[in-house]
Amino acid sequence: MRRLLALVLLMQALNGGLANAAAKKLVLVVADPFLEMHSGPGRGFPVVYVIGRDELVTVLYSRTDWFKVRAATGNEGWVRRADLARTLLETGEPAPIPPYPEFASHRWELGAGYGVYNRENLVTTYVDFGLTTSLDVELAVQQAFGTLDNRYVASIGVRHTFIPEWKWFSPTAGIGTAYQYVQDKVPPAPLQKSNEMAYVSLGARGFITRRFLWRVDWRHYVVFNNLNVYEDLEEWKFGLAVFF
Amino acid sequence: MEIRLSCILLAAVVLSGCSWFHRGHKAPPEIVAEQPQGEPSIIEPQVTRRVVKTPHIKAKDFELGAYYGALSIQDFGTNPLYGVRAAYHVSEDIFLEGFLARSKAGTTSLEDVFPDITVLSDSGRRFTYYDLDVGYNVLPGEIFLGRGRAFNSALYVTVGMGDVKFADKDQFALNFGVGERLLITDWLAVHVDVRDHIFETSLTGRTKNVDNIEATLGLTVFF
């Protein structure tokens, strides 16, 4: 039954793909004296064809900063974003080449990094969604590797960016809740294998280039357990992220 | 329950079939005329506003594929390895990549000489890892095959970290790699990779860093 369901879903996906393949492509007019087409999407690839002024060019798809285009003659090649942005629509308006997402007001962020959690090595991945330019929701999944145990931590919280328009360095602070699962490596087994936690965080973020940014974060966790004393944990991490 | 599920599946198939038939039809008209509202005036403005929808340019920045090769597990011989990889190309130079792979360790020399000794259980010999890497295309360019054929390619280096599960234990592991990406077409690529997974273990008595080098051949698609 499950296989059948998978097959149907696959067929649906393929069907959708085929239907989309027939969609219209963007046609642009070259406004510069010429437009250079490279053999590949990168500066290491040679120019293989040149399209003259007032000639039409069809945009097929993009990869990073390069656009695969087709000339009226049928020749295909890759054009730089900056070059293609200087072409025009057939109506004479500027070409609708999407600019980079604005760093200060980006919505989505996807990142990973290294950290130290409870004096253990930590691998962290996170997704971040901006509710406003200064307030976002962060969802993180982390794995810590210790000598006595391994810990898996999932957390959700809100974070405030104090001055989002500061591009290179902007301080942040946040609060949230987390869940920890402890997998013991050597006996004795921990008294509690899983805990709920709450945290406060302080950090900073900064723009690197294009769609890249860095983040550092310090977190203080309070671990809720059945014992009479609360356990406190500390975490440091550094991450790289892509924003959309 | 089974019948209900079957009905839903059948409906899904039928509906997908409908969209298939619809494929040949033209897209809905893109020019929309604004209808004048309210009382008819003496001078009827003959203005129709054109709502021009510019087609969306599809970005093909993701890469997904599988690989197969050999993994040399320190002290445990060289064994077949298979895995999956997914990458996101941020710029023409930088990409982020994730790997998930599995292999199975062989026997140590000690076990070969003394067959009665077993260092690891059967499940402990399983070597599973995931990696999160940053990659940099160091040498992009064309590779020539014969007189009339050129392929786009790039030599890249990757560095990252992740988890290696070996001997029934998860260890934090760093990895360093170098690879070559050869594009057969714009959407299909062949990869040749060499990567070293380094982690600390005390499996053979004393605590040491072990190097586990893999050499793999992979196939990926861009989408």
Largest CA-CA distance found in chain B, in angstroms, rounded: 106
What pLDDT digit, counting tens, does each position of A115-127 carry?
A: 999 889 999 999 9
* A44·B140 Cβ contact <8 A: yes
In chain B, residues with a C-beta closer than 8 Å to the C-beta of A150 are 170
- Whole-number Å distance between alpha carbons of A228 and B187: 59
pLDDT at A22: 47
Residue A7 has pLDDT above 70, yes or no: no
Matching residue, tokens 């992220």: A241
pLDDT at A10: 56
In chain B, residues with a C-beta closer than 8 Å to the C-beta of A108 are none
* A123·B90 Cβ contact <8 A: no
The residue in chain A having the minimum alpha-carbon distance to the alpha carbon of residue B57 is A61
Residue A37 has pLDDT above 50, yes or no: yes
What pLDDT digit, counting tens, does each position of A151-186 carry?
A: 999 999 999 999 988 989 999 999 999 999 998 888
Residue A53 has pLDDT above 80, yes or no: yes
Report the pLDDT averaged over residues A41-59.
89
- Whole-number Å distance between alpha carbons of A68 and B63: 17
Q: Residue B197: which of B218, B177, B169, B222 has the closest Cα?
A: B177
In chain B, residues with a C-beta closer than 8 Å to the C-beta of A87 are none
pLDDT at B74: 87
pLDDT classification of A18: cutoffs 50, 70, 90:
very low
pLDDT at A173: 96
Matching residue, tokens 């003959």: B46
In chain A, residues with a C-beta closer than 8 Å to the C-beta of B154 are 42, 44
Residues sharing a CB contact under 8 Å with residue B14, sequence separation 6 or more, in sequence order: none
pLDDT at B36: 55
Q: Residue B126: which of B152, B159, B104 has the closest Cα?
A: B104
Whole-angstrom CA distances from A70 to A25, A76, B141 are 10, 4, 21
pLDDT at B206: 85
CA angle at residue A123 from A122 to A127, to 5 degrees?
Answer: 125
Q: pTM of this prediction?
A: 0.78
Report the pLDDT averaged over residues A51-67.
89
Choose among A44, A64, A112: nearest Cβ to B91.
A64
Query: In this structure, what is the dihedral angle of CA atoms A153, A158, A161, A167, given to the nearest 10 degrees?
Result: 60
pLDDT classification of A146: cutoffs 50, 70, 90:
confident
Q: Mapped to the 3 state alphabet, what secondary structure does A8-48 carry?
A: HHHHHHHHHHHHHHCCCCEEEECCCCEEEEECCCCCCCCEE
Q: 3-state class of A38 per DSSP?
A: strand
Please report, in tens digits, the pLDDT of each residue of chain B (223 residues total). Answer: 566 666 566 565 555 554 444 444 445 555 555 555 666 677 777 777 777 677 788 888 899 999 999 999 888 889 999 999 999 998 889 999 999 999 998 888 888 888 888 888 888 889 999 999 999 999 888 888 888 888 999 999 999 999 999 888 888 999 999 999 999 988 999 999 999 999 998 887 788 899 999 999 999 999 9
pLDDT at A141: 95
pLDDT at A170: 94
* A59·B57 Cβ contact <8 A: yes
Report CA Rg, chain A. 25
pLDDT at A9: 58
pLDDT at A179: 95
- Whole-number Å distance between alpha carbons of B90 and A109: 13
pLDDT at B13: 56
* Residue A21 sits at the chain B interface (C-beta within 8 Å): no
